[in-house]
Amino acid sequence: MQFHPDAAKIRRWREERHWSQEHLADLAGIGTRTVQRRENGEAASYESVMALAAAFNVEVVALTVDPKVQAKADEKAHATEGLAALRLSFLIHFASYIFGMIVFMAISISSYGNGFVMMVPAAWWTVGLAGHGLTVAIVTLAVRFKQTP
């Protein structure tokens, strides 16, 4: 049976103790290459995980990754990345809106007293920006509500 040890935890614990991979391998009674593979996140046999746990003086469970916890962390990271991308798209949209309104004002000023000739495009662009902002607000609330324990 293959186990999936927490590679980041193994590396962090080793570095906190100022151990080299060779030193950890000697303490655990396994090969240096085995330690390297575990730190790269590759699956391990139960014996390898037991040897590493003994070297760190912890339970085997402390070195393994819980699939449910990992899936939840991955989902949270994905939602956060998606929200960041949505916010960035809104900021880009808002910046282009400001630039567009300046251009619309210049066009209206150059039309010599015919009023704000770009009123209809400006109004529809404002509606689009407001819809985009509302989407960002709703998704932000949904992500925060979902992440609340």
Q: How many helices (H) and strands (E) does the chain have?
A: 6, 2
The amino acid present at 58, given as its one-letter code, is V
Q: What is the pLDDT of residues 100-147, one digit of tens each?
A: 999 999 888 887 777 778 899 999 999 999 999 999 999 999 888 876
Confidence of residue 66 (pLDDT cuts 50, 70, 90): low
Q: What CATH topology corresponds to 2-63?
A: 434 Repressor (Amino-terminal Domain) (1.10.260)
Check pLDDT > 90 for residue 90. Answer: yes
| Residue ranges of domains in the chain | 2-63, 67-147
| Angstrom distance (rounded) from CA 48 to CA 54 | 10
Q: CB of 65 within 8 A of CB of 114?
A: no
Residue 143 neighbours by CB under 8 Å, 6+ apart: 79, 80, 83
Q: CB of 6 within 8 A of CB of 64?
A: yes
